[in-house]
Amino acid sequence: MAEQTVVFISGTSSGIGKALAEYYLAKPNHTVIGSIRNSSAPSVAELKSFKPASDSSLLLVHIESTSTDDPKKALVAIEEAGIKHIDIVYANAGGSPPVVALEDVPVADFLSSFQTNALAPLVLFQTLRPLLQKSKAPKWASISSISGSIGMMGTLGTHITVAYGASKATLNWLTR
């Protein structure tokens, strides 16, 4: 039997993260590790009830993006589950504060956006790197946004997402 393909996806309780988790769970011989914030959310119950393909399984771990300790605790749970490598990481979890003009945007919006959208993926990378290095073909994918493109700000009008856009531009820089 072929070695399991192990996929880590942050933010699997909804949206892109949930869709990615279901996609990989529908493939045979995959282990999906999904990070969630709230284990009692209805969308998490839906994900838990998803019927995986043959020899595929789901492991949910708690990671709150503002915590620098949660990824380390999740790594312990991953290793305790007997997982020895990770092939693909999707740094997907993120968030956006309300849209506020540059002259009015609170510093707190910048701090929370940078913590969630740039620093949390960095900490996740630093934590999971040893397991990624054990993969035969490791892959890292940061889920960003057109709002993080400095070159397209004027064309697309993304300058209105001040804190979010700046944090996604930072994520793009870190990923590169």
The catalytic residue positions are 164, 168
- What does the angle CA 151 – CA 118 – CA 145 come to, to the nearest 5 degrees? 40
Structure tokens at 54: 């043959």
Residue 22 burial (C-beta neighbours within 10 Å; 0-12, 13-18, 19+): middle
Distance CA 162, CA 160 (A): 6
Task: State the DSSP code for 137.
Answer: S
Closest by CA to 35, choosing from 1, 67, 2, is 67
**In whole angstroms, how far apart are CA 65 and each of 52, 54, 70, 111, 154?**
27, 32, 8, 12, 30
